[in-house]
């Protein structure tokens, strides 16, 4: 089942997918554009992967190869980075190159500590779509994300749906795509992750306890392009959802 969190009529509601848009817990059916979409969950720790698709690593730094990484590159994100479906993300005026990142987001469902790879998927509650923007100008170098790159307010779009793990037969066989103003600019498949979901859970749980609601952003394939104010960016993953976002300028945020 696909679940959502939305704001409507002065309250926050749980909702599920409906042919006409979405259905609130009290049975009312609303169109997609009648509500304000929130991230489909309120996560605990947000862990994000860098360079988890080999071709994207090459795209960012031609001198690198996937073989130079001896363990996953992981960094933390704050809850303030998250916004929902149909939200607006600020593009700083001083940015020369800002790009999207379509990612499969994994939601932890059970506490995980020292979990073996063979048992890892039992700790997954479900999945959602993430679009984790990066301002490449702000990178300390071309492949290590720093704070200004990945912890920008409203810079990570999440949703629209949280999809139960039971409804995703194989999360390692999902096509990912990004469209900018209707034009296909990025495509890949979760089969091409350098470190798959069991490997990531095994790695992370070896030194930190993962808790229910923690979020793991699993990285993006190659195909990133610069996006500008006014662009509509749609990131989608088969079976998970189609996530819309619009870029706006500093003036929209009083900057």
Over residues 213-228, the pLDDT tens digits come to 999 999 999 999 999 9
pLDDT band at 145 (very low <50, low <70, confident <90, very high): low
pLDDT band at 191 (very low <50, low <70, confident <90, very high): very high
The burial class, CB within 10 Å (0-12 / 13-18 / 19+), for 199 is: middle
Domain boundaries along the sequence of the chain = 1-38, 41-253
49 contacts 218 by C-beta, under 8 angstroms: yes
1-38: what fold?
SH3 type barrels. (2.30.30)
Q: Which of 100, 104, 129 is nearest to 190 (CA)?
A: 104
Distances (CA, A) of 101 to 42, 68, 153: 21, 22, 16
Please report the pLDDT score of residue 236 as a whole number: 98
Rounded CA separation 226/214 (Å) = 30
Rounded CA separation 235/243 (Å) = 5
Q: Which CATH architecture has domain 41-253?
A: Alpha-Beta Complex (3.90)
């Amino acid at each position: 089942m696909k679940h959502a969190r939305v704001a409507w009529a002065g309250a926050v509601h749980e909702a599920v997918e409906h042919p006409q848009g979405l259905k609130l817990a009290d049975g009312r059916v609303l169109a997609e554009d009648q509500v304000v979409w929130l991230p489909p969950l309120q996560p605990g720790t947000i862990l994000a992967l860098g360079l988890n698709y080999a071709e994207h690593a090459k795209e960012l730094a031609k001198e690198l190869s996937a073989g130079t990484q001896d363990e996953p590159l992981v960094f933390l994100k704050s809850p303030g980075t998250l916004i929902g479906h149909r939200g607006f993300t600020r593009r700083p005026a001083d940015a020369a190159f800002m790009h999207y990142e379509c990612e499969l987001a994994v939601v932890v469902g059970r506490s995980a500590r020292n979990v073996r790879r063979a048992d890892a998927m039992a700790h997954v509650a479900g999945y959602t779509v993430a679009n984790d923007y990066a301002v490449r100008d702000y990178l300390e170098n071309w492949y290590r994300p720093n704070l200004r790159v990945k912890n920008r307010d409203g810079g990570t779009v999440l949703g629209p749906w949280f999809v139960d793990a039971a409804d995703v037969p194989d999360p390692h066989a999902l096509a990912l795509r990004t469209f900018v103003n209707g034009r296909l600019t990025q495509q890949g498949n979760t089969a091409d992750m350098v470190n798959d979901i069991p490997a990531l859970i095994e790695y992370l749980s070896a030194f930190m306890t993962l808790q229910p609601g923690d979020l793991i952003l699993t990285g993006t394939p190659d195909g990133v392009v610069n996006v500008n104010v006014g662009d509509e960016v749609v990131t989608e993953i088969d079976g998970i959802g189609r996530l819309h976002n619009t870029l706006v300028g500093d003036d929209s945020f009083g900057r």
